[in-house]
Amino acid sequence: MRVLGLLLLGLLLFPAQAEAHPLGNFTVNHYHGITVHPDRVTVRAVVDTAEIPTLQERPAEVGDYASRECAVLSRATSVEVDGRAVPVEVRSSAVEFPPGDGGLPTTRLTCVVEAWASGETVAVRAGYRDDRVGWREMTAVGDGVALLDPPVPGVSVTGELREYPDDLLSDPLDVRSVVLRVGAGSSAAVVGGEVGGSSPPGGSSLPGGSSLPGGSSLPGGSSLLGAATQAFTSLAGDRDLTPLVGVLAVVLSLVLGASHAALPGHGKTVIAAYLAGRAGTPRDALVVGATVTLTHTAGVLALGLLISATSAVAGDSVLRWLGVVSGVLVTAVGVTLLRASVRRPVLVGHGHGHGHGHAHGHGVGRTGLIGMGVAGGLVPSPSALVVLLGAVALGRTWFGVVLVLGYGLGMAATLTAVGLLLVRLRDRLAAVERLRDRFTALPVITAALVVVVGVGLAVRAAWGW
Amino acid sequence: MIRLVAITAVVGGLALLVTAVTSLSTSDAPAQPVGAVTEVATHRTVSALQDKLRRTPSDADAWAALGSAYVEQARVTGDPSYYGKAQGALDTSLRHRPEGNGFATIGLGALANARHDFAAARDHATRAQALLPDTAEVYGVLADALTQLGMAAEATAAVQRMLDLEPGVPSFTRAAYDLEQRGDVAGARAALERASDAAAASPDVVFCRYRLGELAFDHGDLDEALSQYSQGLAVDPRDVMLLQGKAKVEFARGSVDEALRMYSELVQRTPLPQLVHEYANMLRAAGRDPAPQFAVLERQFALAPDDLAASVAAADRGDAASALRLAEAEWGRRQHVLVADALAWALHLNGRHEEALSFADRAVSAGWHNAAFLYHRGVILAALGRDAEAAGVVEEALRINPHFSFVDAPRAREVLGGLR
Amino acid sequence: MSTPLTSRRAAKVVAALAAVGATALATGLLGASGAGASSHREAPLIAGDPAVDNTDVYAFVSPDHPDTVTLIANFSPFQEPNGGPNFYPWATDARYDLNVDNDGDARADITYRFTFQNDDRRGKSTFLYNNGEVTSLDDENLLFRQTYTLELVDQRGASTKLVHKGKVAPSNTGPKSMPDYRALRDQAVTKVQGGAKAYVGQADDSFFLDLRVFDLLYGGDLSEVGQDTLRGFNANTIALQVPKAWVALKGDAKRNPVIGVWGDTERRSMELSPGRYRAHGDWVQVSRLGNPLVNEVVVPAGLKDKFNSLTPDQDAKVKELVDRVTNPELPALVEGIYRIPAPKGRRDDLVEIFLTGITTELGGPIKADLNSQVVNADVDKRKFVPSEQLRLNMAVAPAAEPNRLGVLAQDNQGFPNGRRLTDDVLDIGLQALEGAAVNGVVEALAAGDKVDANENAFEKQFPYVALPNNTAVNAGGAEVAIKPTAGGGVPTAPLLSGLLALLLIGAGAWVLRHRAQQEPPTE
């Protein structure tokens, strides 16, 4: 009974899934799934031929139908890279005959064709049986390269011509050609995809869908934050930039930076531990925050501009290296601390007198603090980078810079706040007092902790975890 | 530390310089629109309404207008998926305003006509007429339904009302069909020319040119027919029906191979039953095997029944029993002269010449100068032994259009020879 | 229900868009769908008739010739200025009339009638509009031309020819074909004996509005408006400038300064009855326009076709129409959705605006005597018949700085006293319906459709309308992004970037050098 109810509910929720061939039984429907690789363009073409043309053609009676037709298709498919026509070769071909209406078979031809070339623009035009009535769909993704603002989605809305959507307010798709702009390496989408880890290794399907750079796969702790991040990136890429949108984008960038810094794995533990252990003052907290902002903004800008300038550098590998550098830096700070704590135990022992300890710790502390800040801000957060690149791609570099600055400020605010909070708490609470005592009593542990975190960061970055 | 910052500044500055220079060099290129590089054959016809309904989904009038626009889209594109969308849009309109929704009712009528449910179309039109007595479209839907149901006089009145409300392409083209069926060829041509002059949208221009071409072809004027088809093809070089017209002219002028090539291409492109059927007949006339085409046609009628067309096809491939059964079924639904003619022919093929003659008489009663009707009637008369009458009628058929059928026109000449 | 998209104008919007969209659609599909096409000829049902669709009428005292009045009528909206094969001829089996009623009996006392003739030099070999660059109206490259006849028809139907074989300015087929459209247009301005001028040809569609403002009736988001629906499109324009005396009652514009104006187009029907067939039957009025937006906000959807066929003297007899003026639907809907209270009671203020003209003499609530024919000294008030016309008091001198809100902003030279090209009739109309003529401007709706001016500036002299656009309209909207670079000049963004780059490098280098100089001593 319950099952029946669910079934009925299902029917209500998904009324009248469109018939097999929405455009009727004499249509020939086309799907072209384009994947742009660094060295070639692959097109996965599916041709869904309805009952009547199948009947006319009788492909089942032709032995080499798939290979023959895919050869025709490959000749009819034009791929131009940077305006230069590239020969299209068949890589694989297959055909099946799913049953259709009236006991008649239909034809489903699948051809994978490829063209070996690389460049900045890739134009694909589908010419196979282009005079037939039918659905014409194209998707495009980059694999190892980025597609800048691709005009077609990354995922087929029909599941490669298996289910046709039934929307009263849209027309049948009729996409016959597409021009893709390839930003080698500067792929916001790839950066987002790779860093977000949602792209399968070597996978061909970047989460596209959105026409905006990196639209759908940005790292974000919660889905809410993810949505906000997406809104942020789309704001920077918004074509109609009104003052309101601009202000909104800046505010959002502040909020996002702040929340980004609140996410785990941002060296806050290190900073917190450091501040707590180093008898830090509010001023120290501010120094750390300012350094983070500066480093982060400079890092993102430098990386973003570098990427824009030298399209040969792959964005994700740079990020990875920076991650490693950051980890190493943190480790170095830890090692310095360790050395200091081992060499000068007396200094730490003084810890009870605030002014005294503070005064003593200052020399080493300032450098250490800045080092911390650099470490915290050195790894440019992917979303900020995406925003910058998106803005650059849209010819709005300055707006992107402002947003990145805002992002860094937001981050700094959080980190400073955390630092201030710790400083305050430590002064007020007995529990924290004891904690501090333990830390101050065991400076080696503090330093070791920093080292561990640093190594962890480096390893994580190196392994792309 | 400061050194690091300085180095970063230098590196960043260099990078920025490179970016600026590259952007400067590329900005010389003609401004290419960002993103808009997909080539989509946009259907702007309905997009305005679609946009509006996305904003205000409860607008019953807009849904009704969209439904009617989808019916037109189906007609223009030949894409039957628009029928489903039209139904959905019109239903939605009626859901938002169930009572007194004249525009949705017109749309339902137009949709019913398109689906050949002429009785339902008439009912919708009648209901719409009560709500919108001064709206021309009501009478267009009504006229189409009444014509196909065989109610010629009522149909004429509806077209006249439409003309008096809104003289324009829709009413002029309907007037032309009305006049043609009553044998007023000059009037039909004048009406189509007025329609053609008033036509603004290219599908309308193409439609008028095709009808003008057909009118000329059906009365044996191949030059004029070709000229009209060609003028239509200047507007839309790939229009299937205009190309079909050209292929017919080729065949009539003896370029059989060229005509066959054109038809085979057309049926590959758009296997409309009408085209497949004509191609089969052309193959028959050329002495080639039409069986595969008839097989396709049969399956098509199984998928989308059309008893009139199926009856004629059955008669052409020699299945007299089926032809009669199908023609009778259609006659039960509507009594258009084309159905009368098909029924007459099917009865004749089954040896029932007397009955056949009464329907053949009925087919020509309105005065339509239709060569096929006359040929059928002549052959039936001959079967009844009324040779002199038969010869006159067949002669008349050939006089009207010596190329009225790929198969039957040569036969008509044989029949005539035999009768003399 | 009155919704813009089912109104006459908007219905034609769809039809016109069909016309432009169809070219893109022509991908070689069928002429007939489904089976049995040979029996059932599917003729078009809603083809639209843009060529005779009168979309706007303007009437104003000519600012540069204040002794004359200018009448402008637009037709055939949504012309895509993308050149190529599309051009937009005037119908040759139609009458394009500009009517003047100066005694208030709701019948035309003077009709300026334009009819058209083709001069088709294309022969059978080409379908091209022009065959190369067109630099004058007589250019041999212009293969399809039209001429017009302008007649003056008096109330008895007697006609006088004012212009014979007047030259129509062609459709602008783009900068390659017509590099200097202004020259063509100047040549098309025809002087008429007695101090009048006529222009017939293409122009930028002078109407500006965001049609989406009407979505507010359905709870749509008003913040979405602000986009000129007609931006970039062209229209066919008739402009006529005549001395005031020509149109004033008894030829005396001093005593009788008020005229009522409306445009209409007529096509000939066809007589089908057996035996009585005529290819050209009676004239049928297919389009009519006086006040702007009447179709959108006053005439109910079911009555739009009828309204287009009515002559003004019939207006007062159509109860549904009068009811819609005295009790309009729009304010009630606005109240329902936006809580802006609708004016109470019978809307006699709207009767004045749309049906009688603004006057105190007929007992209306608006305390002004502005533009009813009863203001004319020689009008017999008893013969006055309310009707929908665009009424103009020619005695009001042209404003030096016209206010887009016209009479509502104390600029009495603007709508609803006649209509100037710059009048923001949508905002005015919306306010008028909300009772602004009596109670003042309704602040909550003051922003209106947020389209306050035409995209192209109007001209200072006759024919005043802006030159036709000759670049394609991005009607697709979302599909096409406009590159955010300013047109021409120095590319500022890269320049700024370059400056900053140099600054950075310089600063970095300076710091490094500074450090290098300082460091040796410290080590």
Instruction: List, for residues C270-301, the tens digit of each pLDDT value.
Output: 999 877 889 899 999 999 999 998 887 788 77
- C48 with B178: Cβ contact below 8 A: no
Minimal Cα–Cα distance from A269 to chain B, Å?
Answer: 23
- Which residues of chain C from 247 to 276 reach within 8 Å of chain B, CB to CB? 267-274
pLDDT interval class at A111 (50, 70, 90): very high
Cβ proximity of B175 and B163 under 8 Å: yes
Whether B365 and chain C come into contact, CB under 8 Å, resolves to: no
Minimal Cα–Cα distance from A430 to chain B, Å?
Answer: 37
Whether A26 and chain B come into contact, CB under 8 Å, resolves to: yes
What is the average pLDDT score of chain A? 68
Question: Nearest residue of B to residue A24 by CA position?
Answer: B80
Of A20-24, A342-346, B88-92, C87-91, the one with minimum mean pLDDT is A342-346
CB-count burial class (<10 Å; 0-12, 13-18, 19+) for B352: middle
- For the cut 90, the answer to whether the pLDDT of residue C101 exceeds it is yes
pLDDT at A337: 66
Whether C120 and chain B come into contact, CB under 8 Å, resolves to: no
- Give me the helices (H) in B236-336, please: 240-252, 256-269, 273-285, 291-303, 307-316, 320-333
Q: Could you give the angle at which helices B136-149 and B152-165 cross, rounded to 10 degrees?
A: 160
pLDDT interval class at C349 (50, 70, 90): very high
Sign of CA dihedral A200, A205, A209, A210: positive
- Which residues of chain A from 312 to 351 reach within 8 Å of chain B, CB to CB? none
Pairing of strands A40-49, A28-36: antiparallel
What is the average pLDDT score of chain B? 89
Provide the b/e sequence for A133-143 (b: ≥16 CB within 10 Å).
bbbbbbbbbbb
Question: Which pair of tokens denotes residue A342?
Answer: 């081992």
**Averaged over C305-325, what is the pLDDT?**
91
Of B18-22, B28-32, C318-322, the one with minimum mean pLDDT is B28-32
Question: What predicted TM-score, i.e. pTM, was given to this entire model?
Answer: 0.72
pLDDT at A264: 53
CA gap C407, C432 in Å, rounded: 10
pLDDT at A203: 30
pLDDT interval class at A2 (50, 70, 90): very low
Measure CB to CB from residue C497 to each of A131, A174, A397 and give the nearest one. A397
Torsion of CA C295, C297, C299, C301, to 10 degrees: 90
Give B-chain residues touching C50 at CB under 8 angstroms: 200
Give A-chain residues touching C28 at CB under 8 angstroms: 131
Whether C282 and chain B come into contact, CB under 8 Å, resolves to: yes
**Averaged over A394-423, what is the pLDDT?**
73
Percent of chain C with pLDDT over 90: 46
pLDDT by residue (tens digit) across B286-340?
A: 999 999 999 999 998 988 889 999 999 999 999 999 999 999 999 999 999 999 9
- A177 with B11: Cβ contact below 8 A: no
- C484 with A397: Cβ contact below 8 A: no
- B299 with A166: Cβ contact below 8 A: no
Whether B145 and chain C come into contact, CB under 8 Å, resolves to: no
Give B-chain residues touching C506 at CB under 8 angstroms: 13
Question: Which pair of tokens denotes residue A431?
Answer: 């529990």
Cβ proximity of B34 and C483 under 8 Å: yes
CA gap B283, B407 in Å, rounded: 9
pLDDT at C125: 66
pLDDT at C160: 95
pLDDT at A223: 44
Q: Which residue has the higher pLDDT, A446 or B57?
A: B57
Question: Nearest residue of C to residue A241 by CA position?
Answer: C484
**Averaged over B72-87, what is the pLDDT?**
84
Whether C486 and chain B come into contact, CB under 8 Å, resolves to: no
For residue C336, CA distances in Å to B54, C221, C330, C333 come to 21, 14, 10, 5
CA gap B360, B350 in Å, rounded: 15
- For the cut 50, the answer to whether the pLDDT of residue A198 exceeds it is no
Measure CB to CB from residue C29 to each of A133, A396, A398 and give the nearest one. A133
Whether C516 and chain A come into contact, CB under 8 Å, resolves to: no
Whether C15 and chain B come into contact, CB under 8 Å, resolves to: yes
Q: Which residue has the higher pLDDT, C423 or A298?
A: C423
pLDDT at C43: 87
Whether B17 and chain C come into contact, CB under 8 Å, resolves to: yes
Minimal Cα–Cα distance from B227 to chain C, Å?
Answer: 9
Number of H helices and number of E strands within chain A? 15, 10
pLDDT at A435: 53
Q: Select, from the ranges A59-68, A255-264, B316-325, C203-212, the one with the highest average predicted confidence (pLDDT).
A: B316-325
Torsion of CA B379, B382, B388, B390, to 10 degrees: -20
Q: Which residue has the higher pLDDT, A266 or C172?
A: C172
Q: Under 8 Å CB-to-CB from C274, ≥6 apart: which residues?
A: B156, B182
Minimal Cα–Cα distance from C484 to chain A, Å?
Answer: 7
Cβ proximity of C361 and C332 under 8 Å: no
Pairing of strands C54-61, C68-79: antiparallel
Question: Nearest residue of C to residue B43 by CA position?
Answer: C21
CB-count burial class (<10 Å; 0-12, 13-18, 19+) for B301: buried
Q: Under 8 Å CB-to-CB from C112, ≥6 apart: which residues?
A: C71, C97, C98, C99, C100, C150, C151, C152, C153, C162, C240, C242
CA gap A101, A123 in Å, rounded: 36
| Chains with at least 3 CB pairs less than 8 angstroms from chain A | B, C
Pairing of strands A146-148, C234-243: unpaired
What is the average pLDDT score of chain C? 81
- For the cut 60, the answer to whether the pLDDT of residue A201 exceeds it is no
Angle, vertex CA C152, rays to CA C147 and CA C158, nearest 5: 120
pLDDT at B398: 97
Measure CB to CB from residue A131 to each of C28, C483, C484 and give the nearest one. C28
Sign of CA dihedral B334, B337, B342, B344: positive
Of A73-87, A158-172, B336-350, C25-39, the one with minimum mean pLDDT is C25-39
Cβ proximity of C233 and C77 under 8 Å: yes
CA gap C11, C211 in Å, rounded: 12
Give C-chain residues touching B224 at CB under 8 angstroms: none
CA gap C172, C88 in Å, rounded: 9
Minimal Cα–Cα distance from A236 to chain C, Å?
Answer: 13
Give B-chain residues touching C40 at CB under 8 angstroms: 113, 116, 144, 148
Question: Nearest residue of A to residue C29 by CA position?
Answer: A133
pLDDT interval class at A367 (50, 70, 90): low
- A175 with B40: Cβ contact below 8 A: yes
Minimal Cα–Cα distance from A429 to chain B, Å?
Answer: 36
Give B-chain residues touching A53 at CB under 8 angstroms: 268, 271
Place of tokens 């207008």: B65
Whether A146 and chain C come into contact, CB under 8 Å, resolves to: no
Measure CB to CB from residue C43 to each of B74, B207, B237 and give the nearest one. B207
Question: Which pair of tokens denotes residue C92?
Answer: 């040759």
pLDDT interval class at B175 (50, 70, 90): very high
Mutate to test the interface with C, among B38, B45, B137 (most CBs of C within 10 A): B45
Cis peptide before C463 (omega within 30 of 0): yes
Q: Under 8 Å CB-to-CB from C390, ≥6 apart: which residues?
A: C57, C59, C260, C261, C262, C290, C291, C292, C416, C418, C419
Cβ proximity of C44 and B68 under 8 Å: no
Amino acid sitting at position A14: F
- B198 with C267: Cβ contact below 8 A: yes
Torsion of CA A241, A247, A251, A253, to 10 degrees: 30
Whether A78 and chain C come into contact, CB under 8 Å, resolves to: no
CA gap B385, B346 in Å, rounded: 18
C288 three-state secondary structure: strand
Percent of chain B with pLDDT over 90: 75
- For the cut 80, the answer to whether the pLDDT of residue B41 exceeds it is no
Interface A:B, Cβ pairs < 8 A? 128
- B38 with A170: Cβ contact below 8 A: no
C483 three-state secondary structure: coil
Minimal Cα–Cα distance from C53 to chain A, Å?
Answer: 28
pLDDT by residue (tens digit) across A133-179?
A: 888 999 999 988 888 888 899 999 888 998 887 788 877 788 899 99
pLDDT at A109: 96
pLDDT at A186: 37
pLDDT interval class at C10 (50, 70, 90): very low
- Give me the helices (H) in C339-482, please: 348-350, 425-433, 436-439
Minimal Cα–Cα distance from A366 to chain C, Å?
Answer: 20
CA gap C150, C200 in Å, rounded: 10
**Averaged over B82-109, what is the pLDDT?**
95
Of A241, B259, A227, B332, nearest in space to C485 by CA: A241
Of A122, A190, A189, A204, nearest in space to A155 by CA: A204
C168 three-state secondary structure: coil
Percent of chain B with pLDDT over 70: 89
Minimal Cα–Cα distance from C4 to chain B, Å?
Answer: 9
Q: Under 8 Å CB-to-CB from C191, ≥6 apart: which residues?
A: C197
Measure CB to CB from residue A370 to each of B1, B16, B73 and give the nearest one. B1
pLDDT interval class at A270 (50, 70, 90): low
Interface A:C, Cβ pairs < 8 A? 19
Q: Which residue has the higher pLDDT, A292 or C369?
A: C369
Give B-chain residues touching A29 at CB under 8 angstroms: none
**Averaged over C372-395, what is the pLDDT?**
95
Q: Which residue has the higher pLDDT, C387 or A184?
A: C387
- For the cut 70, the answer to whether the pLDDT of residue A213 exceeds it is no
Q: What is the DSSP letter of A154?
A: S
Of A182-186, A352-356, B210-214, C464-468, the one with minimum mean pLDDT is A352-356
- For the cut 70, the answer to whether the pLDDT of residue A333 exceeds it is no
Residue C176 has a CB neighbour count (10 Å cut-off) of 11
pLDDT at A436: 52
Mutate to test the interface with B, among C1, C8, C46, C120 (most CBs of B within 10 A): C46
Dihedral pair phi/psi, residue C462, rounded to 5°: -50, 135
- A101 with B303: Cβ contact below 8 A: yes
Q: Which residue has the higher pLDDT, B305 or A303?
A: B305
- The ipTM value here is 0.81
Question: Which pair of tokens denotes residue C147?
Answer: 């001429």
